[in-house]
Structure 1
Amino acid sequence: MLKKFMNKIRKNSLKDKNFEYLFNEPPKDEYVCLDCETTGLNPKKDEILSIGAVIIKKNKILMRDTLNIFVKPSKGINSASIKIHQIRPVDLENASEPKEAIFKLLEFIGNRPIIGYYIKFDIAIISKYTKEYIGISLPNHQIEVSSMYFKTIKRRSEYEFVDLKFDTIMKELDIPELGKHDALNDALMTSMIFLKLKDKAPANTTFYTG
């Protein structure tokens, strides 16, 4: 009830009614898995440098439906952050303007639920842009794969530690590692995590976190 009320408020706040489709009922058994590479870990002040996304439909990753965009930052990127995301200034020479990139992303996502690893960060930083361009934060349902993994682990007590690092989850699920710190590769690996866990989670588990 609360979510419906909040979505009604968001829908009324849209600057452009062409984006009302974001509030439509999502298609059955379709998801989008996405990942962002950013200048830092503060969504309020940092910027998106690249976005990778793939569509999952009926337990299959649609490799023909991928999105891989470099995004032009408002200022130069520092050498410390390059060591983390490995995106160099030369990689951004033909990057898209932020508004163009975000609109392409919204068109790609549609009203599908969004899957990710610590997806709240990605949603928060994307929403910084969508609030500016269309007046609202991203309204799509969110599915957190680390939460899915946690719910499948059998623990001897509720206090037992569970390692939720991305590398650990990949290793435990025997998923091949693609190139790291590449938004599209990260989205693909996260998609494989989701598909491995989708049928393992308890029957009463809800995947939606937002």
Structure 2
Amino acid sequence: MLQWLNKLSLGRGQEDWFVDALNKDFRQLEFLALDLELTSLDPQEGDILSIGYVPIIEGFICPGEGRHCLISEHSGVGDSAIIHGIRDCDTDGGHTMEDALSRLDQARQGKVLLLHHAGLDLAFLAKHQSEYSKLLAADTMQIEFQRRTRQGQPVANSLRLNQCRDRYNLPAYKAHNALTDALATAELFLAQMSYMGGQDAISLAEIIRLSR
């Protein structure tokens, strides 16, 4: 497990925290469910329009501590507005990317990042802060992929956030709001953990393994 630390950029003093966390049950840890709204699915061409996140502390979601940041710095919403409903005028009074990332960096300290399709969002964040390319995160999409693969179930076109939630009888939310999707990801993660282990311990190491 320690070889993962070679890929991490945890910040000074964080390596010991992560090593200690690897063998702990997820309910002993804090996660930060994170979602981005984007102008494109191509990290080389697209921009981040909004960032939403909500913490999970010792197995409980804390929606009151969730945050949503619209980003003012982008090259234009374009046709992506059809998907997420964010217009150029909505972001005029938003945060600078530097400010939004500073807030996110503060929120994620001592927490494990949790995303649905982590590779995509982390690639967008890495354009602005290179350490995100090295961070390991729990990924509800990959966890669901592993579960369905083991069961011999089809995975093609079945891993969108709301599709995954539906299999756990979670309510349907209106998609493509970063804070709502972060909350939806947090709920899906807890449902996946309950399905996998019930009251049995599930270590962070196992979660990261399933997320790769």
Query: CA 1:32–1:178 in 2, change beyond 3 Å: closer, same or farther?
Result: same
CA distance in 1 between counterparts of 2:134 and 2:99 reads 19
SS at match of 1:129: coil
2:55 paired with 1:63:
no
Counterpart AA for 2:96: E
Deviations 1:173-197 (A, max 9, x none): 1111223110000000111000011
Give TM-score scaled by structure 1 length.
Answer: 0.81
2:20 paired with 1:25:
no
2:91 paired with 1:99:
no
Is the Cα contact below 8 Å between 2:43 and 2:123 reproduced in 1? yes
2:159 paired with 1:164:
yes
Match of 2:169 in 1: 174
Structure 2 residue runs without a partner (length 5+): 22-27
CA distance in 2 between counterparts of 1:127 and 1:36 reads 13
Query: CA 1:44–1:23 in 2, change beyond 3 Å: closer, same or farther?
Result: farther
Query: CA 1:156–1:173 in 2, change beyond 3 Å: closer, same or farther?
Result: closer
Question: Counterparts of 1:60-209 in structure 2 under 5 Å?
Answer: 60-78=60-78, 80-131=79-130, 136-137=131-132, 139-153=134-148, 157=152, 160-162=153-155, 163-201=158-196, 206-208=206-208, 209=211
Select between 121-130 and 165-174 the one with higher mean Cα deviation.
165-174
CA distance in 1 between counterparts of 2:50 and 2:13 reads 24
Give TM-score scaled by structure 2 length.
Answer: 0.80
Q: Indicate the structure with greater helix content.
A: 2
Is the Cα contact below 8 Å between 1:77 and 1:89 reproduced in 2? yes
CA distance in 2 between counterparts of 1:35 and 1:5 reads 25
Counterpart AA for 1:38: L
- Aligned pair count reads 194
CA distance in 2 between counterparts of 1:21 and 1:72 reads 33
Is the Cα contact below 8 Å between 2:173 and 2:184 reproduced in 1? yes
CA distance in 2 between counterparts of 1:22 and 1:128 reads 22
* Greater than 6 Å deviation, 4+ residue runs: 202-205
Structure 1 residue runs without a partner (length 5+): 12-18
Counterpart AA for 1:142: A
Q: CA deviation at 1:139?
A: 4.3
CA distance in 2 between counterparts of 1:155 and 1:103 reads 39
2:45 paired with 1:52:
no
Counterpart AA for 2:159: L
CA distance in 1 between counterparts of 2:46 and 2:193 reads 32
CA RMSD in angstroms, aligned pairs only: 2.5
CA distance in 1 between counterparts of 2:149 and 2:30 reads 28
Counterpart AA for 1:50: S
Q: CA deviation at 1:29?
A: 1.7
Deviations 1:73-92 (A, max 9, x none): 232221x1111121011211
Is the Cα contact below 8 Å between 1:51 and 1:70 reproduced in 2? yes
Query: What percent identity do the matched residue pairs reach?
Result: 21
Q: CA deviation at 1:35?
A: 0.3
CA distance in 1 between counterparts of 2:92 and 2:104 reads 20
